[in-house]
Amino acid sequence: MLSGGVLFCAGALINGFAQNVAMLIVGRILLGFGIGFANQAVPLYLSEMAPYKYRGALNIGFQLSITIGILVANILNYFFSKIHWGWRLSLGGAMVPALIITIGSLFLPETPNSMIERGNHDEAKARLKRIRGIDDVDEEFNDLVVASEASRKIENPWRNLLQRKYRPHLTMAIMIPFFQQLTGINVIMFYAPVLFKTIGFGADASLMSAVITGGVNVLATVVSIYYVDKLGRRFLFLEGGIQMLICQIAVSICIAIKFGVNGTPGDLPKWYAIVVVIFICVYVAGFAWSWGPLGWLVPSEIFPLEIRSAAQSINVSVNMIFTFIVAQVFLTMLCHLKFGLFLFFAFFVVIMTVFIYFFLPETKNIPIEEMVIVWKEHWFWSKFMTEVDYPGTRNGTTVEMSKGGNGYKIV
């Protein structure tokens, strides 16, 4: 995280004082490295440090910070756009969060997993007692030690990812970030001003509409924090998918009725534009309490220690690659597909919701070192886990399905 913060600082500084396009490109590349480092480290750090009963809520704090950052950026951009050199303030302002990351990383304690990996068992156990707030941490500590010993036997975690027993993890590391970007959320968040101007808003109104969607994004993420460890990951994934699908179809119909297949420009009646904005906000809310935070949470909690770093790298890489692709092709797709663009993304929302329903097991309330259980109990993935044993039973503790079928519970 420290390296990511330093790169982020450098990129923001170069962009803020850019004298030509080349400096902007170099600065953006450095920002990309910084974001990649942070996205790799933060979700894993939070999942390792958090108690399993509250892991979802604490991990989604990462996504909440992102949504707050988007909202603040939209508000600042609204005011900076009125200043001749305001673009420098917009780009250089990234120094503020970059400095927070850099300085904050100096005070972050190591995770018990990391300390065990380095052979500091006594310090790791003391750290575990401190962050859990109890003295009886023997069972969890033993799990961490066993996982660490298993990871040391792995010489090449990248090649190891291709083993049959890691097929479920590799699939989720690729498919979840792939689907997350094909929900269409970046079309809304990156190009909200363009979209709102296209459907009849003025320049200032479009920026304010972007601020509105940013506010909805923040509030809905808070909802996810509250419910993720209560209702489970699968419920939020499925509910969010259905909500986004309905809104995308509704927006597509609204735009089609007004502009037709030719995309003829014109002014929308005020009430009509408000209806479109409401549907877009409901769509953003659906994403913000489902695929937004869960797209980072679920991959970070399902990987065994021996492949955790490599698998998370794939997760981040796939996410960033498709973020880039969607950003590059969006305007071309908008020109050619018109209202059909929303139907294009709605199609993928259907596919990914079906994928979650059939292939993602519930992972709430399961310690990350015992996550193998959910794969061995799954109707499809169990066939790949035949050579993997259940975690050992200790002191009469076993793992079984909850009565409601909404996940596992320790009894």
Find the mean pLDDT for residues 246-270: 76
Q: Which of the four pLDDT bands, split at 50, 70 and 90, describes residue 198?
A: low
d(CA 283, CA 276): 11
Find the mean pLDDT for residues 106-121: 88
Q: Taking all residues of the chain, what is their mean pLDDT, rounded to a whole number?
A: 85
Confidence (pLDDT) at 400: 47
Query: Which whole-number Å values give the CA distances from 292 to 9, 333, 410, in the listed order?
Result: 25, 23, 28
Find the mean pLDDT for residues 240-244: 96
Q: Cβ(278)–Cβ(372) under 8 Å?
A: no
From the centroid of its chain, how far is CA 275?
28
pLDDT at 118 over 70: yes
pLDDT at 382 over 60: yes
Confidence (pLDDT) at 180: 94
Q: Which of the four pLDDT bands, split at 50, 70 and 90, describes residue 408?
A: very low
Confidence (pLDDT) at 152: 77
Pairing of strands 408-410, 399-401: antiparallel
- The model's pLDDT over 307-340, given as tens digits with 9 standing for 90+, comes to 888 899 999 999 999 988 988 887 788 778 878 8
Higher pLDDT: 343 or 152? It is 343
Q: Which of the four pLDDT bands, split at 50, 70 and 90, describes residue 393?
A: very low
d(CA 409, CA 210): 41
Q: What is the 3-state secondary structure (H, E, C) of 72-140?
A: HHHHHHHHHCCCCCHHHHHHHCCHHHHHHHHHHHCCCCCCHHHHHHCCCHHHHHHHHHHHHCCCCCHHH
Give residue 173's identity as a one-letter amino acid code.
A
Find the mean pLDDT for residues 67-88: 84
pLDDT at 228 over 80: yes
Q: Which tokens belong to 380?
A: 């499809």
Confidence (pLDDT) at 13: 92
Confidence (pLDDT) at 399: 45
pLDDT at 398 over 50: no
Confidence (pLDDT) at 264: 57
pLDDT at 375 over 90: yes
- Percentage of the chain modeled with pLDDT above 70: 88
Confidence (pLDDT) at 60: 93
pLDDT at 256 over 90: no
Q: Which of the four pLDDT bands, split at 50, 70 and 90, describes residue 282?
A: very high
Q: Which of 393, 411, 390 is nearest to 402 (CA)?
A: 411
Residue 13 DSSP SS3: helix
Find the mean pLDDT for residues 140-145: 87
d(CA 109, CA 122): 15
pLDDT at 188 over 80: no
165-384 homologous superfamily:
MFS general substrate transporter like domains (1.20.1250.20)
- The model's pLDDT over 20-73, given as tens digits with 9 standing for 90+, comes to 999 999 999 999 888 888 888 888 899 889 888 899 999 999 889 988 988 888
Higher pLDDT: 70 or 250? It is 250
Q: Using only C-alpha atoms, what is the Rg of the chain?
A: 23
Find the mean pLDDT for residues 261-290: 80
Least confident of 209-218, 240-249, 397-406: 397-406
Q: Which of 23, 4, 22, 3 is nearest to 13 (CA)?
A: 23
Find the mean pLDDT for residues 9-15: 93
H or E element that contains 407: none
Higher pLDDT: 331 or 290? It is 290
pLDDT at 389 over 90: no
d(CA 252, CA 279): 10
Residue 209 DSSP SS3: helix
pLDDT at 145 over 70: yes
Q: Which of the four pLDDT bands, split at 50, 70 and 90, describes residue 268?
A: low
- Provide DSSP, 248-306: HHHHHHHHHHHHTTTT---PPPHHHHHHHHHHHHHHHHHHHTTHHHHHHHHHHHHS-GG
